[in-house]
């Protein structure tokens, strides 16, 4: 059985013995097999709200929570806003929200979105102190509007610069890296909260590329359009085992000049893209960026010599991180 | 403490405990300088701050952030591009780097269209080593080198012995602020006639290397570099032009090996060797022999022929033994007969000074006169036990022996 976080056989048996069959009783949702999805299809939900920004700049907290609820409920086929989160996180588990803050305040994971996720997680029974919002660097987090916090009773927020990297190398394919201790020691479930952006090397960056912020040496994995490195990084066992969900922030996205923030190439898509299949999500995000590039009269990424080939690699037989076949992706707009 | 001992340092430390009875030098000048350095060695290696990084900060939860600003100096080898991008001109990789991003080496960062090195004076490893450890066998044998490194490297060799400093970003390697004048003063205090830039990859800290070499030369202290030679010609001329000797790691003689194992290219390294030759820079070559990957007869032969044809027969070549490390733990230690085969082939092709490395006690550690075959420098591991060369010549037959022999 292909579980969401590659639960070990022992864990699987233990849960079966204590709580009955997982699918039948606990409802933990494995990726690529969400309830209600046609067999073999990966569900990607895009939630939009053109009125997300009250005055054109500030994100309305109530509206972002509403969009989040709609997308999560559509993804998990639930009529309850809290239920999806309970399917994602077991009681007592610690949750890491891996954000992306390279783009400063202009093009980073938006704080109101993260606050909304934290609110729903807590309502689903996760203690505030068991949630850690993190990225590579604390300064970058703060520049993006997050506040450093290690207080015992609050949501934690700090960078790997404050926690360090594991001493041991982990390897897969062409990648050999040390993992952030935040991933290895501070969280049981990983919720990936990247930003939809153009990327000068990889073509685009969304779900899969955001895992470069988990390893100590991302600079080594940018040649050749980051291919096959992005796929290989996502195959590292700790990442693969803990990855639960991607909530891609496409409230502001970029179609050129990324991954840094360049206002002239950013646009307000006012959307969230949510999936448990990071490959399908990246494929979907790529199409959104291509549409915007066409609208702006720019060449396709392929014609620009930087098509995101890493997406196909992530879907190949060696990686099987998800699907990039549009026929096997069920895109739902809410 | 993480960098207490770099992997190869344990043997270096042991063998650097030189005593006067090991030094039957025939030249009074050599004997005096050798003794001075040997005594300095014993002193220096008993000082813990020189066997460790100058300051080490353990990583722990909620560590305070390092103050990086004092290590940040504008890079010297890059071009500005549109949209606040830059193109690095330091190594052949020529990274195009967007704003707030770093190059492949991980130690250079674009801030608003200006490229900075993040490792100027950011020393993450500092040790006093015998010069033989670099290895430089034809450069001031029996002397000591104040050896230092910053984080970072412009390739990613799967066998790297020092990957925990070479394959990390500077903020991930405990380091201290050691500006050029301090390095020079430490070298002088500890009787080191030479500063060596080594351990990681000095290409990526070229600015610091250049400034330190200048400071050293003003104080009468030389500089040598241990490098992969994967560097653009202009940068090489500017940076290594300041060196008194250069050791180049020629990691294989095939592009496929460079692509797959090194993540680099062979040709620019060969070009660098040619440039160093034209510059008249004393250069020695190390070839790490990795079982099954770069140990064929034909590769050894092609290498030797290229050296003979392009650099001459007097360039010392060291075939050294591989130990499984980093991402190549599945291969065995290089068998000594393989190293001996490499030497036999290079000898047969006519190279005069072919050594074996990482095999303490092997006779191929010694220097022999190519004319009369008398032993001129006897070595044991990293210790020069006997040095008979006088005024650059063989004392038995008068044959000139190329190198830098006297302080």
For residue A161, give the chain B residue with the closest CA: B65
Measuring CA to CA, which residue among A29, A24, A34 is closest to residue A7? A29
Superfamily of chain region A37-333:
LarA, N-terminal domain (3.40.50.11440)
Which residues in chain B have their CB less than 8 angstroms from residue A158's CB? Answer: 62
Q: List C-alpha distances in Å: B288 to A190, A215, B262, B341, B342.
A: 42, 29, 12, 14, 11
Q: Which of B65, B68, B328 to mutate to test the interface with A (most CBs of A within 10 A)?
A: B65
Supply B296's token pair: 């064929």
Q: Across B316-394, where does the E strand assignment appear?
A: 317-321, 354-357, 367-368, 375-380, 383-387
Domain borders along chain B are: 9-55+122-387, 73-117
Which pLDDT score is estimated for A31? 52
Q: Profile chain B (407 residues) by mean pLDDT over runs of 10 residues.
A: 31 29 28 37 33 32 62 97 94 94 96 96 96 96 97 97 95 94 97 97 98 98 98 98 98 98 98 98 98 98 98 98 94 98 98 97 97 96 92 97 93
The CA distance from B287 to B322, in Å, is: 10
Q: How confident is the model at residue A91 (pLDDT cuts 50, 70, 90)?
A: confident
Q: Across chain A, where does the E strand assignment appear?
A: 42-48, 95-99, 131-135, 156-159, 170-172, 175-177, 189-193, 197-199, 203-205, 243-254, 266-275, 329-333
Instruction: Choose the closest CB to B102 out of A169, A171, A219.
Output: A219
Which pLDDT score is estimated for A311? 98
Supply A154's token pair: 């609050």
Ramachandran assignment for A302, one of left (phi > 0), alpha (psi -120 to 50 degrees), beta (any other): alpha
The alpha carbon of residue A295 is apart from the nearest alpha carbon of chain B, in Å, by: 21
Which residues in chain B have their CB less than 8 angstroms from residue A200's CB? Answer: 85, 96, 98
The CA distance from B92 to A170, in Å, is: 29
The CA distance from B32 to B273, in Å, is: 34
* Cβ-contact B245, B251 below 8 angstroms: no
User: What values do phi and psi take at A82, rounded to 5?
Assistant: -90, -30
Which residues in chain A have their CB less than 8 angstroms from residue B103's CB? Answer: 219
Instruction: State yes or no: ipTM above 0.85.
Output: no
Instruction: Choose the closest CB to B98 out of A161, A162, A260.
Output: A260
pLDDT at A2 over 90: no
Range(s) of chain A covered by CATH 3.40.50.11440: 37-333
Q: Which of B2, B61, B158, B324 to mutate to test the interface with A (most CBs of A within 10 A)?
A: B61
Q: How many CB atoms sit inside 10 A of residue A203's CB?
A: 27
Per residue in A261-313, pLDDT (tens digit) is 999 999 999 999 999 999 999 999 999 999 999 999 999 999 999 999 999 99
Classify residue A10 by burial, with Cβ atoms within 10 Å: 0-12, 13-18, 19+. exposed
Range of lowest pLDDT (A13-17, A73-77, B123-127, B210-214): A13-17
Q: What angle do CA B341, B347, B351 make, to 5 degrees?
A: 135
The alpha carbon of residue B390 is apart from the nearest alpha carbon of chain A, in Å, by: 48
Which residues in chain A have their CB less than 8 angstroms from residue B172's CB? Answer: 164-165, 216
The alpha carbon of residue A171 is apart from the nearest alpha carbon of chain B, in Å, by: 8
Which DSSP category does B265 fall into? Answer: -
For residue A164, give the chain B residue with the closest CA: B59
Considering only residues A58 and B198, tell me which one the structure prediction assigns the higher pLDDT: B198
Which pLDDT score is estimated for A148? 94
CB contact under 8 A, A217 and B167: yes
Q: What is the mean pLDDT of chain A?
A: 89
Q: Does A164 touch chain B (CB under 8 A)?
A: yes
Q: Which of A136, A209, A219 to mutate to test the interface with B (most CBs of B within 10 A)?
A: A219
Q: List C-alpha distances in Å: B312 to B267, B304, B307, B357.
A: 18, 10, 6, 21
Which pLDDT score is estimated for B407? 81
Mean pLDDT of A137-154: 93
Which residues in chain B have their CB less than 8 angstroms from residue A176's CB? Answer: 158, 326-327
Which pLDDT score is estimated for B18? 24
* Cβ-contact B248, B229 below 8 angstroms: yes
DSSP string, B85-151: -EEE-SSTT--EE-TT-B-TTSSEEEETTEEEES-TTEESEEEEEEGGGTT-SSBSTT-EEEEEE-S
Architecture of the domain made up of B9-55+122-387: Alpha-Beta Barrel (3.20)
* Cβ-contact A313, A228 below 8 angstroms: yes
CB contact under 8 A, A163 and B61: yes
Q: How many CB atoms sit inside 10 A of residue A19's CB?
A: 12
Which pLDDT score is estimated for B345? 98
Torsion angle, CA of B322/B328/B329/B333, rounded to 10 degrees? -20
CB contact under 8 A, B106 and A165: no
Per residue in B151-162, pLDDT (tens digit) is 999 999 999 999
Which DSSP category does B66 fall into? Answer: P
The CA distance from B220 to B201, in Å, is: 25
> Which residues in B191-224 are b (16+ Cβ under 10 Å) and which e?
bbbbbbbbbbbbbbbbbbbbbbbebbeeeebbbb
Output the CA torsion sign for B260, B261, B262, B267: negative
Measuring CA to CA, which residue among B113, B91, B116 is closest to residue B104? B91
DSSP string, B147-188: EEE-S--SS--TT-TTHHHHTS-GGGS--EE--HHHHHHHHH
| Predicted TM-score (pTM) of this structure | 0.84
Q: What is the CA radius of gyration of chain B?
A: 21
CB pairs under 8 A between A and B: 68
Which residues in chain A have their CB less than 8 angstroms from residue B157's CB? Answer: none
The CA distance from B5 to B10, in Å, is: 6
User: What percent of chain B is helix, strand and coil (3-state, nearest 5)?
Assistant: 35, 20, 45
Q: Does A217 touch chain B (CB under 8 A)?
A: yes
The percentage of chain A sitting over the pLDDT mark of 70, rounded to a whole number, equals: 88
């Amino acid at each position: 059985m292909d579980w969401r976080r590659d639960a070990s056989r022992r864990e699987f048996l233990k849960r079966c013995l204590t709580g009955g069959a997982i699918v039948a009783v606990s409802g933990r949702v494995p990726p690529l097999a969400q309830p209600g999805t046609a067999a073999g299809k990966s569900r990607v939900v895009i939630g939009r709200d053109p009125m997300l920004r009250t005055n054109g700049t500030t994100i309305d907290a109530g509206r972002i929570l509403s969009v989040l609820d709609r997308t999560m409920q559509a993804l998990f086929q639930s009529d309850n806003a809290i239920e999806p989160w309970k399917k994602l996180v077991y009681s007592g588990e610690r949750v890491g929200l891996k954000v992306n803050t390279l783009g400063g305040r202009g093009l980073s994971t938006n704080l109101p979105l993260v606050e909304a996720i934290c609110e729903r997680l807590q309502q689903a029974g996760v203690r505030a102190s068991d949630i850690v919002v993190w990225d590579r660097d604390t300064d970058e987090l703060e520049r993006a509007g997050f506040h450093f916090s290690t207080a015992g009773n609050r949501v934690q927020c700090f960078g790997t610069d404050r926690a360090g990297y594991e001493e041991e190398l982990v390897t897969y394919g062409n990648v050999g890296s040390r993992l952030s201790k935040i991933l290895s020691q501070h969280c049981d479930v990983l919720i990936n909260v990247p930003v939809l952006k153009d990327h000068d090397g990889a073509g685009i960056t969304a779900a899969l590329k955001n895992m470069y912020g988990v390893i100590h040496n991302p600079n080594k994995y940018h040649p050749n359009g980051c291919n096959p490195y992005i796929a290989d990084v996502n195959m590292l066992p700790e990442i693969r085992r803990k990855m639960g969900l991607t909530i891609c922030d496409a409230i502001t996205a970029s179609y050129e000049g990324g991954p840094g923030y360049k206002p002239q190439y950013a646009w307000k898509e006012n959307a969230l893209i949510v999936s448990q299949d990071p490959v399908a999500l990246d494929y979907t995000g790529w199409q959104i960026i291509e549409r915007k590039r066409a609208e702006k009269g720019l060449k396709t990424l392929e014609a620009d010599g930087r098509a995101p080939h890493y997406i196909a690699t992530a879907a190949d037989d060696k990686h099987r991180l998800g699907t990039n076949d549009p026929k096997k992706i069920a895109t739902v707009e809410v | 403490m993480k960098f207490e001992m770099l992997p190869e340092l344990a043997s270096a430390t042991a063998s650097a405990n030189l005593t006067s009875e090991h030094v039957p030098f025939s030249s009074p000048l050599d004997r005096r300088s050798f003794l001075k350095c040997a005594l300095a060695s014993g002193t220096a290696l008993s000082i813990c701050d020189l066997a460790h990084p100058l300051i080490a900060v353990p990583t722990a939860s909620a560590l305070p952030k390092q103050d990086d600003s004092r290590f940040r100096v504008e890079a010297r080898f890059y071009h500005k591009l549109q949209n606040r991008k830059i193109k690095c001109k330091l190594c052949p990789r020529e990274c195009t780097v967007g704003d707030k991003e770093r190059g492949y080496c991980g130690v250079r960062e674009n801030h608003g269209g200006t490229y900075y090195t993040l490792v100027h004076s950011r020393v993450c490893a500092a040790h006093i080593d015998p010069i033989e450890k670099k290895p430089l066998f034809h450069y001031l044998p029996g002397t000591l080198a104040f050896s230092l490194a910053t984080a970072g490297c412009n390739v990613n060799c799967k066998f790297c012995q020092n990957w925990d400093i070479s394959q990390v970003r500077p903020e991930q390697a405990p380091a201290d602020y050691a500006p050029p004048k301090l390095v020079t003063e430490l070298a002088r205090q500890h009787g080191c006639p030479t500063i060596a830039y080594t351990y990681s990859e000095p290409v990526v800290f070229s600015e610091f290397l250049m400034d330190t070499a200048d400071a050293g030369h003003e104080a009468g202290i030389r500089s040598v570099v241990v490098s992969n030679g994967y560097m653009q010609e202009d940068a090489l001329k500017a940076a290594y032009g300041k060196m008194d000797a250069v050791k180049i790691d020629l990691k294989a003689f095939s592009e496929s090996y460079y692509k797959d194992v090194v993540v680099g290219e062979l040709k620019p390294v060969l070009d660098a060797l040619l440039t160093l030759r034209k510059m008249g820079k004393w250069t020695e070559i190390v070839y790490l022999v990795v079982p099954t990957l770069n140990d064929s007869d034909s590769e050894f032969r092609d290498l030797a022929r290229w050296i003979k044809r392009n650099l001459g027969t007097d360039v010392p070549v060291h075939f050294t033994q591989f130990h499984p490390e980093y991402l190549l733990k599945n291969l065995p230690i290089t068998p000594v007969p393989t190293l001996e085969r490499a030497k036999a082939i290079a000898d047969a092709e006519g190279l005069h000074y072919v050594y074996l490395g990482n095999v303490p006690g092997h006779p191929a550690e010694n220097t022999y006169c190519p004319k009369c075959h008398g032993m001129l420098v006897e070595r044991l591991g990293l210790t020069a036990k006997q040095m008979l060369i006088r005024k650059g010549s063989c004392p038995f037959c008068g044959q000139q022996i190329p190198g830098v022999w006297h302080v």
